[in-house]
Amino acid sequence: MKNLSSLLKHYIGVFILLFCGGYITAQQVTITITERDSEFQSIKKALLQTYNDEEIANITNLKIKCENSIYLGPDDFSFLNTMSSLTYLDLSEALVESANNKKNNIFPGRLANNTTISQLILPNLLESIDRNALLNSSISGILIIPEGVRSIGRYAFQNTKNLEVIILPTTLDTYIDKVNNIEISTFNGCTNLKQIIFKGNIPSQIGKDAFTPNTDIKIGVPTDYLEAYKASEIFSPYFTPEQFVAYQNITLVNGASSQQGNVAIPGSSVTVKAETILNKTFKEWKSVPEVTFTDINSPTTVFTMPQKDIVITAIYNEDTPKAINIEGGEASINGTKVTEAMVGSIITITANNGDFLNWESEDVTFTTNNNTTTFVMPNNEVNIKANFYVEIGEVVTLTTEKQNISDWFDSETLQSITRLTIISDGAPLNDSDFAIINQMSKLEELNIEKLSNTTIPANAFNGNKTIKTIKLPAQLVNIGGGAFSNCSLEGIIELPASLNNGNVANSRFANTQGIIGFTSKNTSNQNGIKIIDGVVFNYWGTELQLYPCGKMNEEYTIPNPEKSTDNLKIMNSAFADNQYLKRLTLSSQTTALQTAGRYNLIAPGSNNLEAIYVEDGNPTWGSVDGILYEKETKTFVLCPPKFGKEKLIIDGNLINTVALSLAQATTLKSVIFTEGVIEIGSSVFKGLTSLESVEFPASLKTLKGNSFENTSITTAIFKGNNLSTIGGLCFKNAKLEIVDLPASIEDIQNEGFTGNSNLDILICRAENVPTIGKVTFNGVGWRDNKVNTQIYVPANSLNAYKTSNWVNGIAEGYKAFPAENFIAFYNITATAASVQSSIASDISFTNDVVTIEAQIPAGMKFDKWTTTTEGVVFADATNPTTTFIMPASDVEITATYKELGTLENIGDNIDAIFSGKWDESVFNEFVQANAAELTTIDLTDVAELTQVPVIANLNPNCLIYVNEGVTGNEGQNIIIKDGTTYTSDNIILSETSNDIRNNSFNNTHEFTGNISYSRDFSNTAVGKFASICLPFTPINHNELDGLEFEAFDKVTVEGDKASLNFITINTNELEANVPYIVKLTQETGTITFKGSSVPETTIASSPTSEGYTLNGNFRYTDNVTAYYLLQSDGSEFAKGAENSYITAFRAYLSTEDNTIRKLTVTHNDNGGTTELNGQATDKLKIYAVNDVIYIQADNAQSINVYSIDGRIIKVAELAIGENTITGIAKGIYLINNQKVVIK
C-alpha cells in the first residue's frame, strides 16, 4: 500500500475498517476529489493513489466528496459498476453531471443494472435524475430524493425491487421544460414498495405507468394537501384515496440522524442513530412526545412514529480515557507514547523488535497487518497482542546453496527429530522435501510459517501418522487435494489469512479425525475464508467449506450469511467423516449444494448422523422427521445413515413421491402416508425387517417393485381408486395377514405377494379380474399343507375370478388359490355411522356379524337404526352401537338422531349426568349448590362443550367425564371418553378436605389409567386396626409396608354371642370394591395406594355369614346406629352410637339380628402360620419354662404368638440361635402350629 502522504497534493483519503465479532464485515473508504482527471476517471485515479486493484475490489463502503467544483461524470459511474464488493455509496457531498463538463447536477444513467450497491445517498445539490439512472438496480430499504430535485427521468428506478420507502422532495411540484416531473415507468416494477412520501404539493404531471398499482402501499403527504392528493386524478391509475395519509415531521437534535430523514408516516418504524462525538459517549434517547425505543440506551435504535410531530434528542456523557494494553509493542498518538486514549482517537501501534508475524485483538481492527499500524480508539478498554514467529526444535533455512532438507541432515538424524522449523531464504519446499518429512518417523511438530511456498501440493501430507501440530506458511494461497487427508493432526488448526476460498473443502482434510476446529486471522481477504465456531466458510459466509472431522458437537445448525439476501451453499463433502455429529440443521438461507443433486456428498462417512432438520422459511428444502426433502420436486433426497425413529409420518402435502431408499432406517416400525403421496418407488423399504405397519393413502397411484420385500408388515389396505399396478416382488416374503386391494387395481406383477404364508384375508375389489404373474401368489397362505387364504371378491364377479388364472389349474404354470377359497362380498352403505365387519369397514360376506356405531352429530342425540334392506335385523335398534347379520345382498343402513334440547341434569345431586347443549349459566347454578357433595359429573352427552369447566369448592374426589377433544382434559380427576372406552392419567383420591363429608367417591364408567388413593395412618397406633375399602385393585404391593390386611371369613354364633373370624391375606390378594380390616405392624404415616384400572363402583360387601355382612363404603354416611363399627384394638365390632358416622373408603358390619350388641373378632392366618412378609416360618424348637418361652431358630425371621382362640398376642423377631419371649400372661398359646403353655 502506498504512503498516504503522496495524496496531499490532489487527493485526501481516509479509510476505516469496521470490526465485528472477530472479523471485518465492511471497509469504509472516504476520498475527496479536488482535481479533474483528464480521462474523466477521477474516482479510479483517486483510489489508485492509495489502493491496489485487489484492495479496491474489496471496498464495500465508499464516500466521495468533491471540492473546487469538480464533478463526477458518466465514466466515473461506469467505474463504480466495476467495484464488485461495493454495497454502500455516499454521494451526499459530491457533484454529478449527466455528460462530461456539463456540470448540470443531473444524476447520470450509468448505475442501471448494478447488482452490488444496496444503499445509496444521493448528492445534496442534485437537481435532476436522468433516465435509466438506477434501472434494475439492487438499491434497497429507504431512498431519499434530496431537496432541489425537480424531475426524475423515465425508467430511472424501474424494477428496483428491493426498494421499500421513497421520500420525494418539495421541489418536485414544479413543471419544468415541458417534461413530466415523474416520467414514464419511473418507479414501475418496484414491487416491494411499502411507502411513498411526497413532501410537497401535487406534482404537475406523472408519466404513464410511473408506478405499479398496489393497494398495500401507504402514501404520505403534507397535512395541508391531504384532501387534494386524495382528489387528484393523476394518482387514480395507481392508488386509491384511502391509501393517502398525512405524514408527521421528525426534528433531530444533538447529533441524532435518521435513515428516514425528517418525515415519517404514523405507525411506521423509524431507525435513529447517534453520531460519534469525540470525547463523548452516547447515553440515551429522549423524545417529545415520549415514545418507546426498542433500546433506549443503544446508539442505534427504533421507535414507532406517533400521530404527531416529534423531537428526538441524543443524550451524551462526557467521555473518559480508556486503557490501551499492548503485549509485545507500544501505542502512540502523533509520536507521543500513550497507555490510554479518548474514543475516536487515531492510535499508532508499533511492535517490539523481533520477527513480527501479526497483530491480534478482539477489541479493535487494524488498518494493516504491518509491525506499525493504526486503529480508531473504541469506547472501551483495548487489549492487543503482537505475535512473532517462533522457531521450534531443529531449524532449517532453505537457500539457493542448500535447497533441500536432505542437504541439512543425514538419514539417521532425520529419524530422530521430533520438532522442526523450516524457513525459506531463496528456496521453497519442494516435492522431495515433502516426501522426506513424511518419512521422519518421530516428527510431531512442524513449523513452516516462514516458507515462501504459496501452495501445499496435492497429497503432501496424506496419511502422515506422526505430525500432530503444524504452522502453515503465512503466504499460503492454495492447498492441493488430499494434502492433509488421513493424517494425525490434532486440535485446532490455524489457516493463513492469505488462503484462498475453496482450498479447504472437499478432500484437503478428509478423515483427519484429530482436528476439532479451525481458526484464521483473515479480516480483509475477500477471496479467502472465514471461521465461525471452528467451521470453515468463504469470506462472505455464503459457502460452507468444511466441518472438522473431529468436532465433537452432537448438534450443529448452519448459520445464515450476514446479508438476509444472500444464500448459502454446502460444498462437496463439507460434513464428511465426522463420527460425533448426530443432528444437522440447515438454516433458512442454506439453499444449494456445490454439485446440484449430489446429496450423498453432504456428509459421506459421517455414520452417526441421525437427523437432518431445516429451519422454517427455507425455500429449497424441508425435513420430515429428520429426512431431507426437496420442496420443488416434493421428494425425499437424503436419509441420514443412523435414522433411529420407530414411526414415520410422510405428509402428502410435502412429499408426492417416495423414491429414496430408506434401508438404513433399521429401527422403523410404522409408516403412515397421508393424502397427497402418489408414488412409492422401487426397493424403498426393502429388507426393513423392523417395519411392521404401513398406512397407504387413497391418492397412491404407483407402487413399484420390491418396495416392501422382506419387511414385517402384516396389513396392506389400499384406500381410494387410484392404484392400478403393484410392481414385481413388491411384498415378497413380507408377513402379510390382511390385504385389501382397490377396485382400480389392474395388474399385480410377478412375485408381488410371493411367500406371504400368513395371509388369511385377501380382498380384491376389482370387478375386472386383475392380471397376475405365474408366481404372483406362490406360497401365499400355505400352512399345514393347505392354502388358508380366503379371497373376497365382488359378488357379481365371483364366477369370473373362479374361472381365471387366480385359481390353481386354470392356466398352466400359475400358482394361486383353490376355487373354494373365493367368497363373494357385498357392499355396506352407512349414513351417519361407522361399520366394521370381520374383513373391512364397508363390505362383508353372508352370515358375517357386522358391528355398527352411530356418529352422533353436534347438538344431536341418537334415536334409532333404520334400513331399507330386506333381511337386516338389528340386535338393538335403539343402541348407538349394535350388530346385524349380513344377508346375501348389499346393505343400506341409517342412524337417525334427535335434536338435543337445553342443558339438563338427568342424574341426581350426587351423581350428575348432563344432557343437551352446553349452557355455562345452567351448569354453574347447579354445581354451586351441590359442589361439595358431588361424586361424578358426566358431560359426555353434552353438545358444544369445548373446555372442561372450572368448579370452585368441588369435592376433591369427584370424577368428571368428558369426550375426547375437550380442552383442559389433562387436569386432575378428569376421565376422557373416546368411543366406548374411558381413560385417565391423573386420578388422585385423598382425604385432605376439612369437611369429612366432602371425601365421597363413586365411579360410573370403568376406565384405565393412573389412579391413587392416599390415607394418613399416623393416628392409628402400632397394633391397632382400621377398616378399608379401595375402589381399585392396588398394584404397588411392595410399597405397603407396615400394613397387615385381613379379609372377612365367617361368623360363629353361640347364644347371645357372635365371633367374627378374619384371615390374614397378602397384599397381592387385595381386590377392588372389597372391604378389609388392616392392622398397623409399625409406625406409619401416609400410605398411597396406586392402581391402573378402575371398575364401576359397586356396593361392596363380603359374603354374608349367619346373617352378618361386612360392607364397603365410599360415601359419607351418618345416623349409623343400626350398624356395627370396628373398634381400634381389633377385638370387636360395636354398635354405632348416637352421632356416629362412617366416612368414605371404610367398612362397617350389618346384621339382621339386632339383639347382639357386641361382636368379638378372631384373627386367623388363612390355614397356616404366615408372617407379615407373607412367607412361612422355618421349623422351630420351642419350649417354655415357667413364664419364659425359648425358641431355637436356624434363620432370622418374624413369628406370631396366637391365643388359643386365634388372636395374635405378640409379634416376635427371631435371630439365629436361641431366643426368649417374656411378658406373656399365663395360658395356652400357639407358635408355629406348636402348643406352648405358660404357667
Q: Are 625 and 611 in contact (CB under 8 A)?
A: yes
**Distance (Å, rounded) from C-alpha 961 to C-alpha 941?**
10
**Distance (Å, rounded) from C-alpha 930 to C-alpha 953?**
9
**Distance (Å, rounded) from C-alpha 1165 to C-alpha 296?**
81
Residue type, 1206: G
**Cα separations (Å) of 99 from 108, 157, 821?**
7, 20, 95
Q: What's the burial of 1225, exposed, middle or buried (CB within 10 Å: 0-12/13-18/19+)?
A: exposed
Mean pLDDT of the region 1193-1220: 75
Q: For 1141-1160, what is each residue's pLDDT tens digit? A: 888 999 998 887 766 556 78
535 pLDDT higher than 70: yes
Return the C-alpha cell found at 219: 402514501
Q: Are 1122 and 1154 in contact (CB under 8 A)?
A: yes
- Which has the closest alpha carbon to 886: 831, 840, 821, 819? 840
1235 pLDDT higher than 90: no
Greater confidence (699 vs 1051) lies with 699
Cis before residue 74, ω within 30 degrees of 0? no
**Distance (Å, rounded) from C-alpha 30 to C-alpha 50?**
11
Q: Are 815 and 777 in contact (CB under 8 A)?
A: yes
- Which has the closest alpha carbon to 265: 325, 225, 219? 219
- Which has the closest alpha carbon to 1143: 1111, 1103, 1116? 1116
21 pLDDT higher than 70: no
Mean pLDDT of the region 879-891: 95
**Distance (Å, rounded) from C-alpha 90 to C-alpha 146?**
13
Mean pLDDT of the region 64-77: 89
- 870 Cβ contact partners less than 8 Å away, ≥ 6 residues apart: 887, 889
Q: For 1049-1108, what is each residue's pLDDT tens digit? A: 888 887 777 888 889 988 888 999 999 999 999 988 899 999 999 999 987 666 677 788
**Distance (Å, rounded) from C-alpha 763 to C-alpha 766?**
9
Count CB atoms within 10 A of the CB of residue 1228.
10
Give per-residue burial for 170-191: e unless 16+ CB within 10 Å, then b: ebbbeeeeebbbbbbbbbbbbe
- 546 Cβ contact partners less than 8 Å away, ≥ 6 residues apart: 504, 505, 508, 509, 518, 535, 536, 571, 574
Q: Are 1142 and 1123 in contact (CB under 8 A)?
A: yes
> Residue 913: its pLDDT value, please?
95
**Distance (Å, rounded) from C-alpha 421 to C-alpha 825?**
88
pLDDT bucket at 24, cuts 50 / 70 / 90: very low
813 pLDDT higher than 60: yes
Count CB atoms within 10 A of the CB of residue 916.
20
13 pLDDT higher than 90: no
**Distance (Å, rounded) from C-alpha 227 to C-alpha 221?**
10
pTM of the complete model: 0.56
Greater confidence (389 vs 24) lies with 389
DSSP state of 40: S
**Which single residue is written with the C-alpha cell 520477527?**
355
> Residue 26: its pLDDT value, please?
39
- Which has the closest alpha carbon to 94: 111, 79, 115, 73? 73
In sequence order, what DSSP letters do the residues of 396-444 get, joined into one string?
Answer: EEEESSS-SGGGT--HHHHTT-SEEEEEEEB----HHHHHHHHH-TT--
Residues in the chain: 1239
**Distance (Å, rounded) from C-alpha 137 to C-alpha 1212?**
98
Q: How far is CA 862 from the centre of its chain?
A: 42
- Positions of E strands within 265-392: 269-274, 280-288, 300-304, 310-318, 322-327, 329-333, 336-338, 340-341, 346-351, 356-360, 372-376, 382-388
- Which has the closest alpha carbon to 61: 34, 37, 85? 85
**Distance (Å, rounded) from C-alpha 641 to C-alpha 647?**
16
**Distance (Å, rounded) from C-alpha 604 to C-alpha 572?**
9
> Residue 1165: its pLDDT value, please?
52
Helix or strand run (H / E) with residue 438: helix 431-439
Q: Are 284 and 300 in contact (CB under 8 A)?
A: no
Return the C-alpha cell found at 602: 453432504
pLDDT bucket at 502, cuts 50 / 70 / 90: confident
Name the least confident of 528-537, 745-754, 1041-1050.
1041-1050
Residue type, 376: V
**Distance (Å, rounded) from C-alpha 252 to C-alpha 311?**
6
**Distance (Å, rounded) from C-alpha 79 to C-alpha 70?**
17
Q: Are 1029 and 1062 in contact (CB under 8 A)?
A: no
Any bridge partners for residue 569, and if so which?
543, 592
- 945 Cβ contact partners less than 8 Å away, ≥ 6 residues apart: 918, 939, 962, 963, 966
- 160 Cβ contact partners less than 8 Å away, ≥ 6 residues apart: 134, 135, 136, 137, 138, 139, 187, 189, 190
**Distance (Å, rounded) from C-alpha 33 to C-alpha 313?**
34
Q: Are 1027 and 1128 in contact (CB under 8 A)?
A: no
Name the least confident of 7-16, 537-546, 1122-1131.
7-16
- 495 Cβ contact partners less than 8 Å away, ≥ 6 residues apart: 472, 504, 518, 519, 520, 522, 529, 531, 536
Q: What is the mean pLDDT of the chain?
A: 88
Mean pLDDT of the region 722-741: 97
> Residue 3: its pLDDT value, please?
33
Mean pLDDT of the region 76-97: 91
Return the C-alpha cell found at 1185: 419354662
pLDDT bucket at 7, cuts 50 / 70 / 90: very low
Q: Pseudo-torsion of CA 114, 115, 121, 123, nearest 10°?
A: 0
Q: Are strands 1158-1164 and 1057-1065 parallel, antiparallel or unpaired?
A: parallel
DSSP state of 1037: G
1207: left (phi > 0), else alpha (psi -120 to 50), else beta? beta
Any bridge partners for residue 532, and if so which?
535
**Distance (Å, rounded) from C-alpha 677 to C-alpha 700?**
6
Query: What's the half-sphere exposure (Cβ side, CA atoms, 13 Å) at 775?
Result: 9
Count CB atoms within 10 A of the CB of residue 362.
11
**Distance (Å, rounded) from C-alpha 468 to C-alpha 466?**
6
Q: Are 762 and 792 in contact (CB under 8 A)?
A: yes
DSSP state of 898: E
Q: For 538-584, what is each residue's pLDDT tens digit? A: 999 999 999 999 999 999 999 999 888 899 999 999 999 999 999 99
pLDDT bucket at 74, cuts 50 / 70 / 90: confident
> Residue 1206: its pLDDT value, please?
56
Mean pLDDT of the region 690-706: 96
**Distance (Å, rounded) from C-alpha 484 to C-alpha 952?**
73
